[in-house]
Amino acid sequence: MRVLVTGGAGFIGSHVVDRLLLAGHEVTILDDLSTGTRENVAHHDGERRFRAVFDSVLNDRVVDTLVREADLVLHLAAAVGVKYIIENPLHSMRVNVRGTENVLESADRHRTRVILFSTSEIYGKSPDVPFREDADRLLGPTRIHRWSYSTAKAVDEILGLAYHEKHGLPVIVVRLFNTCGPRQRGRYGMVIPSFVDQAIRKQKITVYGDGTQTRCFCHVEDVVDGVMALLTCDEADGEIFNIGSHEEVSIIQLARRVRQLTESRSEIVLVPYSEAYEPGFEDMSRRVPDLRKIHEFVGYEPKRNLDDILHSVIDHRRTVLDSERALGQDRG
């Protein structure tokens, strides 16, 4: 297949690209490098079946040309990361709503199958864990930027499902829960690479809130396994799937485990949310996926545990920080 991956120079996108190329597909990425990097895909430079277009999903003409040439679109391009969204509220809404509209409009015009990458943020602060795909959503006020990401992604899902229902466009929605692994960066508020960098640099490990909030982290390779399995599943069209892991850990336990595995003596400190993000910021105390649906459709089962994730991130961040230090670019 000829596959267009928007956001293909990003953390998850670049792993998806690796796997698509390995499976023999032709891949074009469209990325504006706002949070992604050329290095994430540099190992494919010069490959015959790989092409990179550095432009925005807001550029509807470019989107249309690339979608026309593709048999399948994986739409990952988005403004991502709690910190990034809070700092860039207007731009984030435009990219996450208008960008997706561009992709869906072109896909509809050219009858191209689309996989939309959505998020567990959809469920908001609902206490009803584990979250099923058809569960109610519970969001806070519009003035709190965090909820704008959830709302924008919900609009994307609604649009995608409407195209499927009204025009028969093959669209699959995947809701990813916290995804981690090599190439993820801590700069925009991603917790595992942030803790790992702080521990390696012997800085304080900053836990936001009281640290009792829990998350289930999933290795990016497991997420890609799930996505790849859906590519060959026709019954998945028009459906929404959670993808993630069940292994639940509190953020304070996570900080301790990172400190242990990096053999660091960094102090772990608690930082109030209002200081870390914005006044009125709310976090969800638990976020656990119900994975029965994707298991039923394609037999999905995550294979890696939290320690596998942490080892892979620690190895990767050590390599990156060492080379930045050698080049005098260490930003720590």
Ligand X SMILES: NC(=O)c1ccc[n+]([C@@H]2O[C@H](COP(=O)([O-])OP(=O)(O)OC[C@H]3O[C@@H](n4cnc5c(N)ncnc54)[C@H](O)[C@@H]3O)[C@@H](O)[C@H]2O)c1
In the bound state with ligand X, the residue whose beta carbon lies nearer, of 58 and 268, is 58
Q: Does 92 bind ligand X (CB under 6 A)?
A: no
Q: Which amino acid is at 52?
A: A
CB of 87 to ligand X, least distance (A): 14
In the bound state with ligand X, the residue whose beta carbon lies nearer, of 57 and 321, is 57
**Tokens linked to 155:** 């609009």
Q: Does 3 bind ligand X (CB under 6 A)?
A: no
Which of 100, 179, 245, 262 is the binder for ligand X (CB under 6 A)? Answer: 179
Q: Does 191 bind ligand X (CB under 6 A)?
A: no
Q: Does 254 bind ligand X (CB under 6 A)?
A: no
Q: Does 79 bind ligand X (CB under 6 A)?
A: yes
In the bound state with ligand X, the residue whose beta carbon lies nearer, of 26 and 31, is 31
53-61, 158-166, 248-256, 317-325 -> range binding ligand X (CB under 6 A): 53-61
Which of 9, 169, 171, 284 is the binder for ligand X (CB under 6 A)? Answer: 9
Count of chain residues binding ligand X (CB under 6 A): 29
19-27, 131-139, 172-180, 290-298 -> range binding ligand X (CB under 6 A): 172-180
CB of 173 to ligand X, least distance (A): 11
Active site residue 84: no
SS (H, E, C) the chain: CEEEEECCCCHHHHHHHHHHHHCCCEEEEECCCCCCCHHHCHHHCCCCCEEEECCCCCCHHHHHHHHHCCCEEEECCCCCCHHHHHHCHHHHHHHHHHHHHHHHHHHHHHCCEEEEEEEHHHHECCCCCCECCCCCCECCCCCCCHHHHHHHHHHHHHHHHHHHHHHCCCEEEEEECCEECCCCCCCCCCHHHHHHHHHHCCCCEEEECCCCCEEECEEHHHHHHHHHHHHCCHHHCCCEEEECCCCEEEHHHHHHHHHHHCCCCCCEEEECHHHHCCCCCCCCCCCCECCHHHHHHHCCCCCCCHHHHHHHHHHHHHHHHHHHHHCCCCCC
x/- mask, ligand X, residues 101-130, rule CB under 6 A, reads ----------------x-x-----------
CB of 287 to ligand X, least distance (A): 10
CB of 178 to ligand X, least distance (A): 5
Partners of residue 16 on adjacent β-strands: none
Which of 3, 28, 36, 146 is the binder for ligand X (CB under 6 A)? Answer: 36
CB of 34 to ligand X, least distance (A): 4
Pick the catalytic residue from 123, 149, 208, 277: 149
26-34, 124-132, 245-253, 322-330 -> range binding ligand X (CB under 6 A): 26-34
Q: Does 12 bind ligand X (CB under 6 A)?
A: yes
**CA dihedral sign, ordered 142, 187, 37, 314:** negative
Q: Counting beta carbons within 10 angstroms of the beta carbon of residue 172, is it exposed (0 to 12), middle (13 to 18) or buried (19 or more)?
A: buried
CB of 56 to ligand X, least distance (A): 4
CB of 96 to ligand X, least distance (A): 8
ω into residue 272 within 30 of 0, thus cis?
no
Answer for the pair 226, 300: CB distance below 8 angstroms, yes or no. Answer: yes
List residues near ligand X by CB under 6 A.
6-7, 9-13, 30-36, 56-58, 76-80, 95, 99, 117, 119, 176, 178-179
Catalytic residue ranges: 149
